[in-house]
Structure 1
Amino acid sequence: MCGIAGIFHTGTIKPVDPSRVTRMCDVLAHRGPDGSGVWTGPGVGLGHRRLSIIDIEGSPQPMQSADERCVLTFNGEIYNYRDLRRELEGRGAIFRTDGDTEVILAAWERWGEDCVKHLHGMFVFALYDRRERKLFLARDRFGVKPLFMAELSDGSLAFASELKGLLAHPLLRRDVDPLAVEDYMTWGYVPDHRSILRGVKKLPAAHTLLLKHDSPVPEPQRYWDIRFDKRHSAKPQDLEAELLHHLQQAVESRMVADVPLGAFLSGGVDSSAVVAFMSQTGRGRVQTCSIGFDVESADESSHAQRVAELFGTDHASRKVSADQFDAIDTIAGMFDEPFADASALPTWRVSQLAREHVTVALSGDGADEAFAGYRRQVFHAHEDRLRGLLPSALRKKVLGPLGDAFPKLDWAPRPLRAKSTLQSLAGSGAEGYASALSAVPPEIRFGLYSETLVRQVGDYSAERMLIDVMKRAPARSGLDAAQYADLTFWLPGDILTKVDRTSMAVSLEAREPLLDHRLVEFAAALPERLRVRRGQGKFILKKAMERYLPDDILYRPKQGFVTPIAEWLRGPLASKARGIGRSAMLARTGWFDNARIAEIAEAHISGRSDHSRLLWQLLMLDRSLARLGIA
């Protein structure tokens, strides 16, 4: 795992100052503390920071091919690199190192742009072909690894693993994009189709970008997609066996490392399944790590301890409390862009704990998206079937007004929140799911916006992008479309961003075996009845894992990595909640009605309403703007 950065000139070819690339890489030192390197040529510069995982003594970067035709800077791991190496050696390739970096160079020389279709893993890389005089950028299928890009005033395109790498370039403008503020207030993060800064873009997951010196920057090209429009026809027991085979392969392939390796363990189905297969490899006791909370309702550490005892792991555990939120500025600095998933704190803490023992940690991320494990997906599937039974006119003319008139019951369980259900049924399935996934509904966030921000946002709606994603999804049902949206929109923008930044902040490599693309392709073709049954998601995954895990782990109510932020903002963090409305930083932006924010804070602190998510979003926006110095 590493950090990369670079500069590429289009139009007029200008020399690249190596010290400029070095500065862009130096701010990424946390991603790669074990080594660094810079290579420059006419109109191009590539930089690298290395965290040594495979071929520790070899594989320095940027790496040149044996004939010096190509130069590569690479962040990630290619899990099938040994198989690819054997295949390429059979075609005449000669290797000087034992790692995966040189395999990418050989794959490019054999397959060109199609090389990415042969790579199984998590990656972002920049490969410069000196003979063809072009730069090839590529990002892995799910967007596990990030890449930020910006076209600059001198005619160059700069890129880096994190936004802070671009911020180290003196020509990058720090103008906030108001549409990104609307996106952030809607989702709690800035999705991959936008950046908090105007002119900065992110290379989308499963896309490549081919740059030439004599051509303008083109649009990225997709090389892979997840298809939900096919169905397996095999018997359920055969599909269970095939699922276990995929799981075993996915986990074992991600245990290749020349450094200590362990796992995050929450005690839920997903991380427990990963630990179960790790324990079967015969490589000794697995190192596991978990985080608990000082609020009992949010603490899963006892379940993690039980799984650890079941598989005889070397288990380490630690608790997170509200007084640790003194690190808010540190967290904001990890993400650069505003990021309001409150589970970033415990994810960072469990990464710190893991780094005390290992350099690589496997996680259970991805299973909820791939196997329909989120409650919102299950509710959406039920609602979508109901939509099919009711005429569109009835839904719009009767259910819509009824939903508008129904009292809002945020405190109630989802099945009893008739207001949101009726409003969801009145619209399309995509509109309903966008509403369910959003952090702050439009009537609340626009009630906070100033006239200035409303004018800047115009008729843009953050929900529209997700709705469009669902409408064009290769899907056969509403559940398919919801899972597709989660895998392509929510996962890279929220979950994978959270894990990448918090783990890399402590120089820990996190790997996601449940996002092996072959496993996800298999899951996407499962009949719905094997994904959701009796109101429960991940049915076939839980059924298949019955031979490894006890029922009270498999079938207990889903809790998730939920931070008790609502309780903390009413107690030890109440002063921070009150301070949001008085924030000088937010006031300077002119984006919000600060008096309204103060009212919302008091309503939350008193217990009259739960505004914890909104308050946390505003707090993280305030801290991010302060860290970036762009407000």
Structure 2
Amino acid sequence: MCGIAGIFYPATPKPVDPARITAMADAQAHRGPDGSGVWTAPGIGLGHRRLSIIDVAGSPQPMASRDGALTVTYNGEIYNFAELRTELQALGAVFATKGDTEVLLHGWAAWGPAMLDRLNGMFAFALHDARRQCLFLARDRLGVKPLHYVELSDGGLAFASELKGLLAHPLLRRTPDIRAVEDYMAFGYVPDDACLVAGVKKLPAGHSMLIERGKPVPAPGRWWDVDFSRRATGSVKALEEELVARLRDAVTSRMVADVPLGAFLSGGVDSSAVVAFMAEASKRAVKTCTIGFEEAGLDERAYATEIAKRFATEHRERVVAADDFSLIDTLVTAFDEPFADASALATYRVCELARENVTVALSGDGADEAFAGYRRYKFQAAEERVRGLLPASIRSGVFGTLGRCYPKADWAPRPLRAKTTLLALAEDGAEAYARSVGVTTPALRAMLFTTEARHALGGYRAEDRYVRSMRDAPARDALDRAQYADFQHWLPGDILTKADRTSMAVSLEAREPLLDYRLVEFAATLPVSMRLRRGQGKWLMKKAMERYLPRDILYRPKMGFVTPISAWFRGPLADEAAGLARSRLLAETGWFDPHAIERLAADHRAGRAEHGRTLWQLIMLERSMARLFG
């Protein structure tokens, strides 16, 4: 895995200072500690930091074609590069290296932008074509690898894998965007269609840009999307067999590496399935690792050990203390923008553990989105069935009135939070789901924001992106629409950002076989009953894996990486929470009412309300703002 950076002048070929490219690339040295390179020509400069995975001794970057007309800087892995290499050689291509980078050069020469449809992998790359005087930027289908870009005051377009690469450019104006703050407070992360630094953009997943000299910088164009509007036909048995074949291929295709390779193993369905297929394909014991917690209710080590023994893996584990919040500043540095998914703490620790023995680790990320594994899908499907029984006017009147009168019970499990359910039933399905994926509600945000902040937002609302995605989704069913919206926002903005930044922070390459695009496309065609049946998510996947995994692994309650942040703010971080109301940095923004923050922290500490996640958001925002804007 690598870090890339560069500058392109679309209007006129101004000279590019190599030192500037070097600074942008070196700001991302953690992404590529094994090597670096810079290439410049009139109007263009490309930089690269390399983490050697394939063709370790060769494939330096930026890489140029034999005639020098094409140059590429690339972050990622093309898993089908060997097949593409054979196809391109049949067309007359002559390769000088053994890696996957050169496939991009010959692929562009043969097929142009259409080569993207042939790539199976995770990637973000910039390719300069001297003949066409253009720069081509592209990002993989699901958004596994990041790419940030910004138009600068001198007419240049700068890009980098991470925001810190752009921050190394002296012409980048560091001005915060209040809309991104609204987004972050709503979801706990800054979505891919926003950035806390005004003017900076992220190339969306499954999009590309062709920037041609002499023309304005265009908007990104979509080259791939997941389609939930089609339905697979065939028996359960036939679809089960097809799923097993696709899972096996997705895993084995990601086991190609010239460096030590292993897997994260939580003992859940997804990581256990990945390890099962790795063990089947590997001649050696698979290296696995897991993180445990001191609290029995959060600790999954027993399940991970069960799978490790079943497949005779070389297993390692480490216990993380519940008060492991010393990583806050490390995470702030890794993520650049504020990121309040507290599971990032445990994810960083498991990446750190894996990196001691391997350079590449396979994860189970993506199955919940593809096969409907989250509990919220079950609740959304059930609520939509109720919505379908009554006209909207009656639902709004009856459920809305009951919901407003019912006492709030944040402390209770969701099935017992009648207020939340009643208010959700009163709303449109898309509106309700948009709220369900959030952290801090619109009402609480309105209380925290000052009048000036609300005025600056001008009616802008973070949840609207979810509503639009669900209403415009290529879908047949409410479950389809919810999953589609998560593919557009939650997956790239939270899950994949977390995986990329925590793994790259320790120079580890994380691969997500369950996000193989062919597997995702297949899962999207499954009938709803094969994704979610009798309240059981990932139904067909679990049924297919019964031949490999024990039932106590397949059908146990989902846990995930849970971090006890609410307890922290009633214990060791209580003073930090109280101090937020006195934060000079937050006060200087003019965005937050200090009295509202003070009440929030006091109510949480006293147990009168549950605000742990919102307090965590505010702490991470304060630390990130200090780093980004001083």
Could you say which TM-score interval applies, normalised by the shorter chain? over 0.9
1:52 maps to which residue?
A: 52
Structure-2 separation of matches of 1:311 and 1:580 = 48
SS in 2 for 1:280: helix
Give the equivalent residue in structure 2 for 1:124.
Answer: 124
Query: How many residue pairs align between the two structures?
Result: 630
Correspondences of 1:84-103 after superposition (within 5 Å): 84-103=84-103
Take 2:466 and 2:430, find their aligned partners in 1: how far apart are those partners? 8
Conserved? CA contact 1:322–1:573, under 8 Å: no
User: Hey, what does 2:198 align to over in structure 1?
Assistant: 198
User: What amino acid is aligned across from residue 524 of structure 1 in structure 2?
Assistant: A
Q: Which moved more, 1:235-244 or 1:303-312?
A: 303-312
- Give the superposition deviation at 1:66: 1.4
Matched, 1:509 2:509: yes
Aligned-pair distance for 1:378? 1.1
Q: Do the aligned residues in 2 keep the contact of 1:298 with 1:564 (CA within 8 Å)? A: no
Describe the superposition over 1:478-510 as per-residue Cα deviations: whole angstroms up to 9, x where unpaired. Answer: 000000111121000000000100000000000
Paired position in structure 2 for 1:41 = 41
- Give the Å deviation of 1:603: 1.8
**8 Å CA contact retained: 1:141, 1:224:** yes
Whether 1:395 and 2:395 are equivalent positions in the alignment is yes
Kept after mapping to 1: 8 A contact 2:361/2:509: yes
Query: Is the 1:139–1:208 Cα contact (8 Å) retained in structure 2?
Result: yes
How many percent identity over aligned positions?
62
Structure 2 counterpart of 1:101, one-letter code: T
Superposed CA deviations along residues 151-192 of structure 1, whole A, max 9, x for unmatched, are 000000000000000000000000000000000000001001
Q: 2-side partners of 1:282 and 1:192: how far apart?
A: 36
Q: Which amino acid aligns with 1:185?
A: M
1:322 Cα deviation from its structure 2 partner:
4.1
- The match for 1:598 is 598
- Residue number in structure 1 paired with 2:378: 378
* Deviation of the 1:606 alpha carbon: 2.3
Question: CA deviation digits over 1:563-593, x for unaligned, max 9?
Answer: 1212222222222222222222212212111
Alpha-carbon distance between aligned partners in 1 of 2:486 and 2:283, rounded to the nearest angstrom? 34
Query: What is the Cα deviation at residue 342 of structure 1?
Result: 0.3
Pick which of 194-203 and 285-294 moved more: 285-294
Matches of 2:299 and 2:629, distance apart in 1: 36
1:529 corresponds in structure 2 to 529
Residues 403 and 423 of structure 1 are in contact (CA less than 8 Å); yes or no, is this contact kept in structure 2?
yes
Structure 2 CA distance for aligned equivalents of residues 296 and 107 of structure 1: 52
Contact 2:378 2:537 in 1 (8 A): yes
CA–CA separation in structure 1 for the residues paired with 2:11 and 2:548: 59
**Are positions 1:420 and 2:420 aligned together?**
yes
8 Å contact 1:371–1:537 — kept in the other structure? yes
- 5 Å-filtered alignment, 1:185-584, equals 185-584=185-584
- SS of the residue corresponding to residue 613 of structure 1 reads helix
Q: Secondary structure of the equivalent of 2:503?
A: helix
Would you say the 8 A contact 1:577–1:615 is kept in 2? yes
TM-score, normalising length: structure 2: 0.99
Counterpart of 2:208 in 1: which secondary structure?
strand
1:224-249 superposed Cα distances (whole Å, 9 cap, x missing partner): 11000111110001111000000000
Residue 278 of structure 2 aligns with an amino acid whose one-letter code is: M
Q: For 2:36, give the aligned amino acid.
A: S
| Greater Cα offset, 423-432 or 344-353 | 423-432
1:325 counterpart SS class: coil
TM norm structure 1:
0.99
Q: CA deviation at 1:13?
A: 2.2
Residue pair 1:295, 1:564 contacting (<8 A) in 2 also: no
Instruction: Please report how far the alpha carbon of residue 208 of structure 1 lies from its aligned counterpart in structure 2 after TM superposition.
Output: 0.3
Can you list the C-alpha shifts for 1:113-158, whole angstroms capped at 9, x where unaligned? Answer: 1111110000000000011110000000000000010000000000
The 1-side partners of 2:286 and 2:598 are apart by: 48
Match of 2:19 in 1: 19
Query: How far off its partner does 1:423 sit?
Result: 1.3
CA contact (8 A) 2:247 2:514 kept: yes
Please say if residues 601 and 615 of structure 1, whose CA atoms lie closer than 8 Å, have aligned partners that are also in contact: yes
- Aligned equivalents of 2:322 and 2:609: distance in 1? 20
CA contact (8 A) 1:229 1:474 kept: yes
Q: Are the counterparts in 1 of residues 123 and 140 from structure 2 also a CA contact under 8 Å?
A: yes
- Give the residue type in structure 2 aligned to 1:383: E
Q: CA deviation at 1:282?
A: 3.1
Structure 1: gaps of 5 or more residues: none
Question: Structure 1 CA distance, aligned partners of 2:409 and 2:528?
Answer: 30
Counterpart contact for 1:352–1:506, Cα < 8 Å: yes
**Maintained 8 Å contact 1:396/1:426:** yes
- Local SS of the residue matching 2:327: helix
| More off after superposition, 297-306 vs 100-109 | 297-306
Tell me how far 1:320 sits from its aligned partner.
1.8
Structure 2 gap ranges (5+)? none
* Residue of structure 2 equivalent to 1:629: 629
Cα distance in 1 for residues equivalent to 2:585 and 2:316: 39
**How big is each residue's C-alpha offset from its partner over 1:498-554, in whole Å with a ceiling of 9 and x where there is no partner?**
010000000000000000000000000001111111111000111111111111111
What is the aligned partner in structure 1 of residue 76 from structure 2? Answer: 76
Q: Tell me the distance in 1 between the aligned counterparts of 2:120 and 2:77.
A: 9
Mapped partners of 1:219, 1:159: distance in 2: 15
2: CA distance, partners of 1:5 / 1:527:
43
* 1:149 corresponding residue in structure 2: 149
How far apart, in 1, do the equivalents of 2:427 and 2:614 lie? 25
Instruction: State how far apart, in whole Å, the 1-side matches of 2:320 and 2:534 are.
Output: 35
Amino acid at match of 2:457: V
Deviating 4+ runs (over 3 angstroms): none
The answer (yes or no) to whether the contact 1:293–1:320 under 8 Å persists in 2 is yes
The aligned residue for residue 105 of structure 2 is 105
Task: Output one character per residue of 1:61-99: Cα deviation in whole Å (capped at 9) or x when no partner.
Answer: 000011211000000000000000011111111101000
Checking the alignment, whether the CA contact within 8 Å between 2:147 and 2:203 is kept in structure 1 is yes
Which amino acid letter does the alignment assign opposite residue 321 of structure 2? S
Amino acid at match of 1:328: I
For residue 617 of structure 1, what is the aligned residue in structure 2?
Answer: 617
Report the more deviating stretch, 415-424 or 352-361. 415-424
* Contact in 1 for aligned 2:322/2:563 (Cα 8 Å): no
Per-residue deviation, 1:327: 2.2
Equivalent-residue separation in structure 2 for 1:344 and 1:526 (angstroms): 31
CA deviation map 1:303-358 (0-9, x unaligned)? 11221111111111112224431221111010000110001111111000000000
Say whether the 8 Å CA contact 1:251–1:278 is kept in structure 2: yes
Q: Is the 8 A contact 2:2 2:74 kept in 1?
A: yes
| Partner SS for 2:37 | strand
Partner residue, 2:170: 170
Which whole-Å CA distance do the structure 1 matches of 2:447 and 2:85 have between them? Answer: 58
- Structure 1 partner of 2:2: 2
Could you tell me how far apart the structure 1 residues matched to 2:264 and 2:326 are? 24
Moved more, 76-85 or 425-434: 425-434
Is the Cα–Cα contact under 8 Å of residues 329 and 627 in structure 1 kept in the other structure?
A: no
CA distance in 2, matches of 1:432, 1:463: 10
The residue type paired with residue 481 of structure 2 is A
User: Is the 1:322–1:572 contact (alpha carbons within 8 Å) kept by the matching residues of 2?
Assistant: no
Contact kept? 1:37, 1:62, Cα under 8 Å: yes
**Counterpart Cα distance in 2 of 1:446 and 1:334:** 30
Q: Secondary structure at the match of 2:388?
A: helix
- Matches of 2:565 and 2:262, distance apart in 1: 28
For 2:31, give the aligned amino acid. Answer: R
Contact kept in structure 1, 2:323 and 2:568, CA below 8 Å: no
Structure 2 Cα separation of the partners of residues 310 and 390 of structure 1:
50
RMSD: 1.0
Q: Distance in 2 between matches of 1:461 and 1:527?
A: 33
Q: Distance in 1 between matches of 2:450 and 2:231?
A: 49
Q: Secondary structure at the match of 2:604?
A: helix
Greater alpha carbon shift after TM alignment, 71-80 vs 61-70: 61-70
